[in-house]
Amino acid sequence: MKTTSIMIVGVGGQGTLLASRLIGHVLIEKGYDVKLSEVHGMSQRGGSVVTYVKYGEKVFSPIVDPGEADFILSFEAIEGARWIACLAPNGKLITNTQKMYPMPVITGAMEYPKDAVEKLKGMSDTISVDALEMAKSAGSTKAANTVLLGVLSRYMPEIETEAWMEAIESIVKPQFVELNKKAFMMGRDA
Partner 1 sequence: MKKLLLGNEAIARGLYEAGVKFVSSYPGTPSTEITEFAAKYGEVYAEWAPNEKVACEAALGASMAGARSFTAMKHVGLNVAADPLFTSAYTGVNGGFVICVADDPAMHSSQNEQDSRHYARAAKLPMLEPSDSAECRDFVSVAYEISEKFDTPVLLRTCTRVAHSQSLVELHERSEKELKAYEKNPSKYVMNPANGFKRHVVVEDRLKALEAYANESPLNAEEIRDTKIGFVTSGACYQYIREVFPDASVLKLGFTYPSPIEKMRAFAEKVEKVYVVEELDPVIETDMKVNGIRVDGGKELFGLIGELSQTKIAKAFGIDTNDARSFGEPVPPRPPVMCAGCPHRGVFYTLSKMKLTVIGDIGCYTLGAAAPLSAVDSTVCMGASVSMLHGFLKARPENAAKAVAVIGDSTFLHSGITSLTDIAYNQSIATVLILDNSITGMTGHQQNPATGYTLKMQPVPPVSLEKVCEAVGIRRVRVADPSDLKALESAIREELEANEPSVIIVRKPCMLLKNVKPKPALSIDPDTCKGCRACMRLGCPAIRFENKKAVIDNTQCVGCGLCEQLCAFHAIGEGKQA
Q: Which of 6, 72, 73, 120 binds partner 1 (CB under 8 A)?
A: 120
State how far the Cα of 138 lies from the Cα of 79, in Å rounded to an integer. 24
Among 46, 57, 125, 169, binds partner 1 (CB under 8 A): 46
In whole angstroms, the minimum distance from the beta carbon of 189 to partner 1 comes to 25
Decide whether 106 or 155 has the Cβ nearer to partner 1.
106
Choice between 57 and 189, CB closer to partner 1: 57
The verdict on 140 binding partner 1 (CB under 8 A) reads no
How many residues lie near partner 1 (CB under 8 A)? 58
Three-state SS string across 55-80, please? EECCCCCCCCCCCCEEEEEECCHHHH
Kindly state the smallest distance separating residue 153's Cβ from partner 1, in Å: 18
Q: Which of 30, 35, 121, 188 binds partner 1 (CB under 8 A)?
A: 35
Kindly state whether residue 118 participates in binding partner 1, applying the rule CB under 8 A: no
Q: Which of residues 54-113 bind partner 1 (CB under 8 A)?
A: 59-63, 65-68, 78-79, 81-82, 84-89, 101-113
- Other C-beta atoms lying within 10 Å of the C-beta of residue 159: 15
Kindly state the smallest distance separating residue 167's Cβ from partner 1, in Å.
Answer: 12
**Furthest C-alpha separation in the chain:** 49
Q: Give how far Cα 94 sits from Cα of 70, 100, 154, 189, Å.
A: 11, 17, 11, 15
Angle at Cα 131 formed by Cα 126 and Cα 134, nearest 5°? 135
Q: Alpha helix (H) ranges present in the chain?
A: 16-29, 77-82, 103-106, 116-123, 131-138, 144-153, 161-171, 177-189
Nearest approach, Cβ of 68 to partner 1 (angstroms)? 6
Q: How far, in Å, CA of 49 to CA of 184, rounded? A: 21
Residue 137: CB minimum distance to partner 1, A: 15
Phi-psi region of 163 (alpha: psi -120 to 50; beta: other; left: phi over 0): alpha
Q: Which residues bind partner 1 (CB under 8 A)?
A: 11-12, 24-25, 28, 33-48, 59-63, 65-68, 78-79, 81-82, 84-89, 101-113, 119-120, 123-124, 141
